[in-house]
Amino acid sequence: MEYIHRITDERLDKLLRLSGAVVVTGLKWCGKTTSARQFAKSEVCLDNSDEEKDLVIRANAMPSDVLRGEAPLLIDEWQNAPRLWDAVRREVDNRQKRGQFILTGSSTPLEDAKRNEIFHSGFGRIANLRMHTMSSFETGFSYGKVSLSELFNDGKRYISEHADRTLEDTALALCKGGWPQCIDYNDEDALEIPYMLLDELINNDVQRRLEGEGLRKNHNEVRRLLRSYSRNISTEASRSLIRRDMSQNEDILFSDETLNKYLSLLESMYIIDDLEAWSPYVRSKVRVQGAPTRQFAEPSLAIASLGLSPSSLMKDFRTFGFLFESFVIKDLRVYCSAMNASLYHYRDSKGLEADAVMELRDQRWAMFEVRLFDPKRVDEGARNLLKIREKMDYEHMKEPSFMMVITAGKYARLREDGVYEVPVSLLAP
């Protein structure tokens, strides 16, 4: 299959020009290794398979032995030999050259004993790049006619664009997900992939990590946890609420300690990826809330966990709406990587919220609400954004570059109230 250009490729290229090494992290099968291979001249694979076990043992015992390939040397699944981190740092210092190593990893060392093997942060030597599954723009679901970067430069420009994507098309795209290997599959086969990958993660990767970290090994508990997380996606559900939800109709009650260990493991494997809260300067005394919203790194895994399909989403717009919000958040996170931006959500004690806030390095920012298709809900989202804008303290921060309601509709426009209404199928970084 011909390589599909990824939005993060330019960032990886730049980081290799600036740093001695780059570590690329993200969910398994999101395309890290394939992307890194476009830049690497040699490769070492440490994926813990039966074929590579001897090499993993050698890398743990004598990490310098595996660093002799032509630069840039790709070290795939480096976390299986944690001592490589320090070895790479030392080798970068010795060579005094940039672009020497690319480390890819679908998990981070979790156990204290393994973390302690990484003696140095890598600051100044090893740059970090987070990668996600493919965005709507990368898969071709989005036509890319509305550029977020251009709106940051001119947030009052008139736009009037049209996309022919239907609500059914959006449900299909959500269920298929952004898995690179699915691009050439027919719809029926592509819809099966998230189920297969979820089973692989639970039955193999997670179980292996549980065993390695000394945690109790029960794939049914992991499946229950992921199902509960999926039911609470795009909400600020507390961990105690998730624990109670898991225990419904079950004889086994999770303890807080067990739940926290499981969640830490899933976070370390980039399976769950919560969206942190934004803390702006506000004029009023309204308290800004700091709870994250629950998100999966790839929403199609949540759909597979719940046993849903495009047709079932079309019969349950409430669930569709929460999952669609997660779909949009994943896209915005990918676009942030091209814009040197960070993504948050906003909510205050009065109930006003913005589903996403994108903040650039120079403190320019934009707010987003996500609404599936109902015009009344779109209007409500726009009103929320306008109310939030009025609360900000512009003596200490810039005014928003623009505000936008992202929908699953067909038309992009600048509303009379100054808020953009744009389908996700028209967005681009």
Residue 110 reports pLDDT greater than 90: no
pLDDT digits (tens, 9 = 90+) for 22-47: 999 999 999 999 999 999 999 999 87
Chain centre distance of CA 398: 27
What DSSP string describes 221-286? HHHHHHHHHHHTTTS---HHHHHHHHHTT-S----HHHHHHHHHHHHHTTSB-PBPBP---BSSSP
The predicted structure's pLDDT at residue 122:
58
**Most trustworthy range by pLDDT among 216-220, 260-264, 345-349, 401-405:** 401-405
Cα 147 from Cα 163, distance rounded (Å): 14
Question: Is residue 87 pLDDT above 80, yes or no?
Answer: yes
Q: What share of the chain is helix, strand, coil (3-state, %, to 5)?
A: 45, 15, 40
Token readout for 59 is 């890398």
Q: What are the structure tokens assigned to 235, written together?
A: 């909400």
Closest CA to 300 of 129, 168, 170, 106: 170
Three-state SS at 428? strand
Instruction: Answer for the pair 279, 291: CB distance below 8 angstroms, yes or no.
Output: no
Residue 151 CA to residue 109 CA, distance in Å, equals 39
Ranges 117-131, 189-203, 252-266, 378-392: which has the least confidence: 117-131
- Cα 297 to Cα 292: distance, rounded to the nearest angstrom: 14
pLDDT top residue among 183 and 148: 148
User: For residues 58-74, b (16+ Cβ closer than 10 Å) or e, as one string?
Assistant: ebbeebeebbeeebbbb
Percent with pLDDT over 90 in the chain: 73
Pairing of strands 365-370, 353-360: antiparallel
CB 427 within 8 A of CB 140: no
Beta bridge partners of 342: 359
DSSP H or E segment with residue 365 = strand 365-370
Amino acid at 368: F
Specify the pLDDT at position 341.
Answer: 97
pLDDT at position 112, please? 43
Taking the C-alpha atoms of residue 10 and residue 14, their distance in angstroms, rounded to an integer, is 6
